[in-house]
Amino acid sequence: MKIDAESAALGRKIHGGSPAEGGEVGHDDIDVVCIVARAPCVGGELPVGFDLRALDPQCLSVRECGSSIVVGSLDVNVGANLPSEELLGTLSSGRRAYLSNVSVLDPARRQGVARALIERAMQLGAELGLETMYVHVKVSNVAAQNLYSSAGFEIESRENRSVETTLGREPRLLLRRRV
């Protein structure tokens, strides 16, 4: 049920517009593009290094070019800010976007999938005339911070203690990169 709810919410975000028009609440002024990384199945076999037990059957899809597995994805949210977000980017007064829901399947990690997704997001940003790309990262997620740093992102700000206490969650950093 959780997967169905998340899929429906993502569909509404990507659809855009107001809730009356089929869009997601708070995303009236946000355009969302989902970038997906797939690994091909050759002869019905998974790519070398993938552990079938680690794959969710929902990740399997069949396309005209044959079977493939979704190994990673990210969303590019184009707009001035993210709905209900406390940590907002301030560098750019022009067009900007936020990366969100960046994910890579465990067996595909440390193979360049996340980096390729980020670079494709940056290409898309350039095509859309964006000036700045932002991403939120938990302070404790050093691996993600290193990934974004190596991709050219810099720390712009950190959530303050009152936001952490009020929301009852781990603090985050806001990273930015010029497109």
pLDDT at 119 over 60: yes
pLDDT value of residue 63: 47
pLDDT value of residue 87: 47
Q: State the average pLDDT over residues 136-156.
A: 94
* CA atoms of 163 and 3, how far apart (whole Å): 28
Q: The domain spanning residue 51 has which CATH number?
A: 3.40.630.30
Say if residues 41 and 47 touch (Cβ distance below 8 Å).
yes
Structural domain of 82: 2-178
Q: pLDDT per residue over 19-63, tens digit each?
A: 555 544 444 566 788 888 887 766 656 565 655 555 555 555 444
- For the chain, the domain total comes to 1
pLDDT at 153 over 90: yes
Closest by CA position to 59, among listed 36, 81, 43: 36
Instruction: For residue 50, give the 3-state DSSP assignment.
Output: coil
Whether this prediction's pTM lies above 0.75 is answered by: no
3-state DSSP of 22-48: CCCCCCCCCEEEEEEEEEECECCECCC
* CA atoms of 120 and 109, how far apart (whole Å): 17
